[in-house]
Each structure stands twice: as C-alpha cells, then as structure tokens.
Structure 1
Amino acid sequence: MAKILFESTRGFDQIAIEDIFLKNRKIFLTEEVNAATMDDIIKQVMYLEEDDPSGEITFFINSPGGSVSSGLALYDMLMHVRCPIRTVCIGLAASMGAILFLAGDKREIMAHGQIMVHDPSFGRMDVGGLKPHEIQQQVDSLNETKEAIAKIIAERTGKSIKAVYKVTANDTFFNAEKALEYGLATSIIRD
C-alpha cells in the first residue's frame, strides 16, 4: 500500500494514499469484482454518505469484472445512497465493472478507456452428477441474471431490452466515442 510522507507537529508521519483519496471523496475499483473488494467499497460509500449525504462521490473503475452477486450488491448501494455518484472509467470497465460504471449519475470515460458488456456466464460449472432438472434450474437462474443485467443497461442507456441483448450476446467492447454514442458514458475526459 502506497504511503505519503507529510510533516506534522509531531515530526514526519505517513498516511496511506487511499486514505487521502477517501478524504477527498474518491474511491477506486482497480481489481476483480469479488466479495472482499465489494465489502471494502460498500463500507467506503456508506462512510462518505454518513459524512456528507449531498457531497459527490467519484468512483474510479479499471476492472475486468467478476462476481455478479457481489457486484450487484455494490450497484444497489450506489443507486440507494443520497450522494451524487460520478463514475470514471480509467482503463477498462468490463463485465460487472461495466455495470458498476453505469451506477453513476455522471459517467465519464477517459479518452482511451474501454467498456465491455456481455451476458453472464457460469464460468467453470461442473455438471457431473447433476440431474437434468438441476441443470435446468441453474440455466433458469442464469437467464434471470441475464435479464436483470440487461434491464440495468437498458434503463441507464435508454436502449430497448432487445437492443441490449444484441450487444450482450457476445463480448462487446466500446471505445470512448462508441460508449458515449451508445449511452453507456455521459462524457469523455480529454487531456
């Protein structure tokens, strides 16, 4: 963890750079979406709302995505808090990273950023020993998740569910201009 050295009345102190950013209402997701990373960010968001319910939170994202259930927990929290949320794609906001990006009231993307959306998948599901109805239950659950994600994308972009399903059927990458045109981003950060 990076530390910043500063002079105080006690001499020189060190403080984690993340603490300085948090003080300035900036939080980061620069790794995989999982229970641990979402737990940390949810706590940061809750702290910032408690500190100043009307102050904007800037959420920087450079993530390959990950766990849908963990990501949706943070998405719901971001949509629930009273604070205005500004999301900034600083590299790649992929999969659940893209859904979290969509939680912003303002959604900014760096000039060379990318957003990738797709349907959820099982990952490495082992169907050995499962009965057909158990496999079907898993497929039904996956389709419910697909629908929930498509609804989020449709609501936040203004696109129809049918249009969203066309782009999520495969891994679809949007550069900054295409993300703005599609409605994923609300502005591009240049220079």
Structure 2
Amino acid sequence: MTQHMPEGRTGTAGLTLTDSVFERLLQERIVVLGSEVNDEVANRLTAQLLLLDADDAESDIRFYINSPGGSVTAGFAIYDTMQLIKPDVATYAMGMAASMGQFLLSSGTPGKRYALPHARILMHQPSAGVGGTASDIAIQADLFNKWKQELAKITAEQTGQTTEQIIKDGDRDRWFTAQEAKDYGFVDHVLTRDSGLNSAN
C-alpha cells in the first residue's frame, strides 16, 4: 500500500515523494514517460505495462507522454509491449512528444489518443549516429534505413497517411500543434477544459 507522506519526508519503505507519486499513479493505472527514451526508462515502463495487464486485462491504461524522444530500440520495446498486452492504452501528449515520443503517442489505441491544448508534437527521421570502420558504417546505415522504413510504415498505418508521405514529412523536423496533430492523424482528440479528463476516461 502506498504511504502518503509530508513533502520532503520518506517513509519506512524508503520511498521518496517522487516515488510515492508515481506509485500512486500506477495504482490508478497511469504510467508516465517524462524523460528521454532510453533502456532504463523502457525497462521501467514495460514492467509497469505488464504489471497492469496481469492485474486487470480489461481496464484501460493511461499513458502520459512528455518526452524529447530517444533510443529507437528502447522505443520499440515500449511499443511492442503496448501491442502485446490486452488492455487498451490511451495515450496523452503533454508538453512535448518528439521523435520516439511522437511514435509512442500515435501508437495508442485508435480513438483513445489525446493531446493537451498546448502540447507540441515533433516528427522526424531517427538519428543515425554511425561510426567506425567502413564496413561498420555500411552495416549501421542499412540498419538505420530499415528502422526508418519500419517507423514510417507503422506511422502511416496509425495516421492514415501514406508511407511515402510520412518519409517525406519526416526528412526534416516537422512540428505540429495539438490541432495539427489531430488533423494529421497522430491523435484523435484535443483535450480542453470543457472536455476534461473525465470524458477521456
């Protein structure tokens, strides 16, 4: 059971205030990506998703995203887990959902993908970061191209755009407002004060 502690205090379980907040959110079936996507973050999020699936396979999971993006492989680990589990995963963009953050946002259950009014969504191609010998560079470039094609193919299916259009639009950084993201197909709804979270549950 989560301990409710005064600010700046820790409980006997050794939880900090931040830990207790995320623990409480997890009890409400809410997971949060609030940082760069890396292996450590992916391991935490996939574990939380699997735990919530095991606990209740029928109730929705709410996934809040405020992220500058990050590792493609770590992002795919989260994406594959979202597809694997039985509960619907409702995604919410707040602040910024960039690069892999955008991909995870649009990977939510169709009809349950949301953006807060001032969220900004960035689509661009994955970073290459190649180096080493000529042979190594060729191998990495081939892998990079496969990632680019796979991301574009999935994003096209999610948005209703063509794969060619996704590749064209993602060749350079392209920013979207919440409404533009809805029009493009990344999200299904823009949350407003009038709509609120209750109507999105």
State the TM-score, normalized to the length of structure 1: 0.89
* Pairwise CA distance, 1:80: 1.3
CA distance in 2, matches of 1:101, 1:79: 13
2:10 paired residue number? none
- Equivalence for 2:107: 103
Describe how 1:15-94 pairs up with structure 2 within 5 A: 16-94=20-98
CA–CA distance in structure 2, aligned partners of residues 5 and 134 of structure 1: 52
Instruction: Please provide the CA RMSD for this pair.
Output: 1.8
Choose the corresponding residue for 1:115, options 114, 117, 121. Answer: 121
Q: Percent identity?
A: 34
Deviations along 1:34-81, one digit per CA (max 9) or x if unpaired, are 000010010000000001001100000000000000110110110111
The alignment partner of 1:66 has SS state of coil
Asked whether the equivalents of residues 131 and 137 of structure 2 are also in contact (C-alpha less than 8 Å), the reply is: no
1:135 to partner: Cα distance: 2.1
User: Post-superposition, which runs of at least 4 consecutive aligned residues in structure 1 deviate over 4 A?
Assistant: none
Aligned equivalent of 2:181, options 163, 179, 182: 179
Q: How many residues align?
A: 180
SS in 2 for 1:89: strand
* Partner AA of 1:110 in structure 2: L
Alignment match, 1:10: none
Helix, strand or coil: the match of 1:178?
Answer: helix
Unaligned runs of 5+ in 2: 7-12, 194-201
Residue identity matched to 1:149: L
* CA–CA separation in structure 1 for the residues paired with 2:51 and 2:79: 16
Give me the whole-angstrom Cα distance separating, in 2, the residues matched to 1:54 and 1:65.
29
Give 3-state SS (helix, strand or coil) of 1:62's partner.
strand
2:128 maps to a residue whose letter is F
**How far off its partner does 1:165 sit?**
1.0
Q: Secondary structure at the match of 2:5?
A: strand
Tell me how far 1:177 sits from its aligned partner: 0.9
Please state which structure has a larger fraction of its residues in strand: 1
TM superposition shift of 1:122: 1.8
Shift of 1:134: 3.2
The AA in structure 2 aligned to 1:135 is: I
For structure 1, list consecutive stretches of 5 or more residues without a partner in the other structure: 7-12
Q: Distance in 2 between matches of 1:27 and 1:43?
A: 11
List per-residue Cα deviations over 1:154-188 (Å, max 9, x = no partner): 01001111111111101111101100000001000
